[in-house]
Structure 1
């Protein structure tokens, strides 16, 4: 297999059409079909199935597509690293930051520090849900991500614990405020707006309630931070959030926050990366900056430690 044929194959799968892929690659369709046939001959497998709507990969094609993406990405990174040798670090680095977490506070300092130290690095920040971020890293499409989780090992990923955020109940001032620290058992009758059950924080809340022989009274499931703030501001109910997000909601509207105790519930934030794809030199530099910034956050697990790039 040569790299050019792999590149052609990935483009065909991406667009789902030989004709469109040929146009995008600026080659004749018969020539592209011949390259595909040669590739299928080399691997002794049918890679694509032609349908009325275009082409779709076979099971063997899906496997090759995943590997081809990683191979092409590593080759491109090798080229970038060689060009960067002997001069300042340069190249693209992608970092995912899970919304509604302490990771959001890292965005601006990260941009500032990377620009000051490594102006040649093009930093791409993606704020989306942790499950999406981990999939992007697993597929080789993102370098690093800061997200909740890491307690359970996931094939293809490694997690470095960064901090543990205590959970708070947050409610509007139109609702009676519990004490500054509230036992979980006092929340059983409270109308709650929480994330969907697959969300890490929601799972922790459900597990804590279940361990106490209770079920949270969930009256709505909301993933949007702005909608959640609006619901609290409107006095429709309360929510349970990590410390950073709780403080943000309270600052945005007429609301209170109380730390949950008995038991204390802590959401683990971790740095996620591939466990088999090496980081590029620019990504290593950004990782080191991330670890430095986390050291200064409340509840950090890295305080006082020196972390060498690895």
Structure 2
């Protein structure tokens, strides 16, 4: 298979239509169909299914699509690195920052520092849920992300950066202590938490399980604005890492209490591909990101950066 056919295939899957893909690629549709047929012959698999609404990838097509994105990105990276060897760093670098985490405070300093040191680098910052960001990295569509989690698995590598204490954010009407609260005291508290796949929710569930308790979850919310409004309305409390807890508590009449007995820690990590090397510009951005994490830990009173 050649790169041109892979580019054609990725574009067809992205758009979901052979006709529209042909128009964008400036190629006749019969010729594009022939390129697809050749690719399917090389793979000895049907890659696309034609429907009334367009085309969708088969299981084999989805597998090839993921690999094709990685291959094309590596080729582009290699071309750029060779072309710009010995020159001022330039090119595109994508960084994901999980919202509602300490990482949110890094976006503006990262943008400012990269522009000051490497004006030729086009920085793309994506604030999104950790599951979305890790999937983009795994598919080769993002260079790195700062998000919660600390366990590497196939396709992804997690480098621990910081550990944040989890805090209870509760409506002031519940009259909780504004300093510390034991986990046992949360047995009957109505909680507003993210979905179970969320890393913070996993840490909460594990802590409750260790205390032979079950969190009393009355709603699952992953919108900071909705969560703030719900707490202000007295609909329940939530449990968040300290950086996010401070933001939520500052927007309404709420108390902030560090959870103890046991203390629950949420590790913030740098997530990268475990097999795709970073480009020279991406390595430069990563170095800046590490500097900013150290500054954040020092200025926010968080634990110093964890060395892997």
TM-score (norm 1): 0.92
Unaligned runs of 5+ in 2: none
| Structure-1 residue corresponding to 2:124 | 124
**Per-residue deviation at 1:175?**
2.1
**Per-residue deviation at 1:300?**
4.0
**Per-residue deviation at 1:47?**
2.6
In the alignment, is the contact (CA less than 8 A) between 2:178 and 2:255 conserved in 1?
no
Aligned residue runs from structure 1 range 134-283, under 5 A = 134-151=134-151, 153-178=152-177, 180-283=179-282
Tell me: CA distance 1:262–1:23, structure 2 relative to 1, closer, same or farther (3 Å): same
Tell me: CA distance 1:52–1:219, structure 2 relative to 1, closer, same or farther (3 Å): closer
In the alignment, is the contact (CA less than 8 A) between 1:22 and 1:29 conserved in 2?
yes
Could you say what the CA RMSD is over the residues aligned between the two structures, in angstroms?
1.8
In the alignment, is the contact (CA less than 8 A) between 2:137 and 2:273 conserved in 1?
yes
Name the SS for the 1:150 alignment partner. Answer: coil
- Is 2:45 aligned against 1:42? no
Whole-angstrom distance in 2 between the partners of 1:235 and 1:36: 57
| Cα offsets for 1:36-57 (capped at 9, x unmatched) | 2232333333333333333333
Structure 1 segments of 4+ aligned residues over 6 angstroms from their partners:
none
Name the SS for the 1:133 alignment partner. Answer: helix
| Structure-1 residue corresponding to 2:82 | 82
- Is 2:13 aligned against 1:10? no
Whole-angstrom distance in 2 between the partners of 1:135 and 1:247: 28
Whole-angstrom distance in 2 between the partners of 1:237 and 1:45: 52
| Cα offsets for 1:180-210 (capped at 9, x unmatched) | 1111111112222111122111111122112
Unaligned runs of 5+ in 1: none
TM-score (norm 2): 0.93
Whole-angstrom distance in 2 between the partners of 1:229 and 1:39: 51
Whole-angstrom distance in 2 between the partners of 1:77 and 1:125: 19
In the alignment, is the contact (CA less than 8 A) between 1:95 and 1:125 conserved in 2?
yes
In the alignment, is the contact (CA less than 8 A) between 1:162 and 1:300 conserved in 2?
no
